[in-house]
Amino acid sequence: MRIPNIPADRSIRLLLLGVAAASVLFVSSWHRMASSRCAAIRSSEQYRQCRRLAERIRVLKDRPLRASDSLQTATQLARALEEAAQSVKIELDQLIRIDSRPARQIENTPYQEQPTYFEVRGVTLEQLVAFLHKLATENHGTEVVDLRLSSPRSGGIYAKDTQDCASTETWDAEVTLTSLVFNP
């Protein structure tokens, strides 16, 4: 192919330059299209995930909270702690202090939180976890909000003899529970 008024070798160069430019534009466009396609796929998946999470939030928001219908007295709280402790083989003298604090209103809701602080001494981690689990599952709306463990103690007055070793490692724990109470 010859372009009028342009020598043949120059025409070939211009033609090759045009083909090269078209190739660069084609590759650039293809790359841009592939990137846009990947971004669209990612956005679509993120959108689906947002919809699933929004639906989950709607379901959880409409579900009633697990709450008690009345405040517990200090005696009732102490009895619940003692029963849970005995059920997991924690001696009553290991339950050092029970301090029931006044309930406080959760702002803009018909719910109150009733915190209870207590200390337990010389328990194994297995006993402590079983004890706290029992408290949380058997008392509606009760959950552990603060737990502080002291350094483990080997030996001492609370150590338990086992067949595997001379004594079992024990811990001291300070725990704060809250009970959620529906009080319109």
Q: Shortest CA distance to 82 belongs to which of 19, 122, 134? A: 134
Mean pLDDT is lowest, of 63-77, 108-122, 149-163, for 149-163
Q: Which residue has the tokens 């293809």?
A: 30
Mean pLDDT is lowest, of 72-76, 145-149, 178-182, for 72-76
pLDDT of residue 69: 58
Residue 75 CA to residue 48 CA, distance in Å, equals 51
Phi, psi of 101 (to 5 degrees): -105, 160
Mean pLDDT is lowest, of 91-95, 99-103, 140-144, for 140-144
pLDDT of residue 67: 60
Residue 179, pLDDT > 50, answer: yes
pLDDT of residue 139: 73
- pLDDT tier at 177 (50, 70, 90 boundaries)? confident
pLDDT of residue 80: 84
Phi, psi of 109 (to 5 degrees): -135, 165
Helix (H, G, I), strand (E, B) or coil at 9: helix
Residue 38 CA to residue 30 CA, distance in Å, equals 12
pLDDT of residue 10: 77
